[in-house]
Chain A
């Protein structure tokens, strides 16, 4: 069998029973501001509604005899009940607006509210994707302007705007590579894609979705791609390489030009995972470094909100070599007029990118709502502000690295880029594992860092503070982590094993959830009976 034993421990035995004997029970089950809230399905509201709809006396029925007669099973709540339900739920969430959210590789920066206001202008929020072009000239101009910013910031000649998220952009880039190879008549020979062991899980998943076989490149001792090992793996069967830069260890691939040259010489393409673009935005341009395709996470680098897991947006910049294969649709500018190229056939007969488009990735033109927010962020920062933001992000990460290294163990020597990576050597023989350390951070009032990723570092803890944190906030954060590290070494294992104590829930049993999956509420399900 394959031994994929990396990743976070989720054993039941690590979830110690931790009910404090002296914890006072309340009659309601609530704890002051922490109010328990049942599911909407448990409120006996199946015959109610919180919306006043103009009642129509159905004069006609043209549903073809396919009316829905059976009950659907959807509860309805009045407006005050709905408000309370969701506001109570919101109190159980941590968020950037609450405190530092140092998830490495996720770039949880401040989400300016100006962006939200702009995205809600009726001229952007209330227009339909299939309106006549003459009625949406401002929207097309906005997409074109954002595309110009992205091209200028990356030094790339073309950008596909439609990908819906980072992984979708990654798919876009790899599809373009596949199309380019097919156009060269090498689809049957170039089947292998190289990716470092430290790559995001999406990289191998994307390559596989494109029908490529993934071959891992080892890292060298300082956490970067081993150039010689890479060269040894190159050959006429290699379609390309997928490298994150700065990489998932928070380090800049200093051999990036050599990597690009070697891959190009072997006839392959260079896909760069742009997840960590925040570190180098306006400081260095992937196009200058030899990249052929790179997705940009607007929700990371350009501050569009993560929203509890999406919606994201993943425009993908393409080199001269890959631009002809860009997906439809795209916006064309002709003087003051903007138009949409929506089909492969239409793309063939125009100048510019997409002449041999590999097809379509989504129904419409991409995440317009996110485009508005990202452009609002870019205009606000300008070239000077973006550069400052990247520098502050890198400075903040290095400050955290410098302050924590007295008690914690950095995975690599030297400076880092926008995120600081630690391993679990400092927890050796304490009985405390990375997950326990992370959960103890919750009790300190912080969202944990990314843990157990990248896989190449044992018990990894990856901290990305972003440029949004003040020095005072970082000092408090570092003081808390230093104190935790000392307490772990002092043998206060129990405190870690039973953390978190002060969160809305204690440690949750993921094993039980996976063994008997309950994925929706049912009237007779234990989910209902539990209340």
Chain B
């Protein structure tokens, strides 16, 4: 299983043709206390970079983009019921959705862990 990142502070854990998607600890920290999460319906499909989910704190509302093209096969309702989980464990238990990849070639354009770390340091 490979972990990839996007410039928009999302992570993907790739397992075969399924990608688990979440937001990075840096993103969660920037948002502040998350108060609301809206997830897409299972079965819906998204183009790469389309608005897929919404995450809100008191001061900010952010769209979460589909990091790759694909179909939603599972969503994490725990974070809908308890948005605080996104602050507690953004890189693990507070994943957002699982996507079935439509185009594995898109993975090439994503960042490695190293590259993402460099990105953060440059901020």
Contacts and interface: CB of A to CB of B under 8 A. Distances in A.
Interface of A: 1-12, 510-511, 514-515
Nearest to A4: B60
Interface in B1-33: 8-10, 23, 27, 30-33
A436 to B, nearest CB: 15
A411 B34 CA distance: 31
A8 B57 CA distance: 11
B122 interface: no
Given A1-B64, A4-B60, A4-B61, A514 B27 contact: no
A78 B59 CA distance: 41
B63 interface: yes
18 contacts: A1-B10, A1-B23, A1-B27, A2-B63, A2-B65, A3-B30, A5-B30, A5-B31, A5-B32, A6-B60, A7-B59, A10-B59, A11-B32, A511-B32, A514-B36, A515-B33, A515-B36, A515-B83
Contacts of B63: 1-2
A2 B83 contact: no
Given A10-B32, A514-B35, A515-B35, A1 B8 contact: yes
Contacts of B109: none
A259 B33 CA distance: 41
Chain B contact patch, size range = 20 to 34
Contacts of A9: 32, 59
Nearest to B84: A515
Interface of B: 8-10, 23, 27, 30-33, 35-36, 55-65, 83-84
Given A8-B59, A10-B59, A511 B33 contact: yes
Given A1-B8, A4-B62, A5-B60, 8 more contacts: A1-B10, A1-B62, A1-B63, A1-B65, A2-B63, A4-B60, A10-B33, A511-B33
A3 B65 CA distance: 11
Nearest to B24: A1
Given A1-B55, A3-B30, A10-B57, A511 B35 contact: yes
- Centre residue among A3, A8, A11 by max chain B CB count within 10 A: A3
Contacts of A6: 60
A521 to B, nearest CB: 21
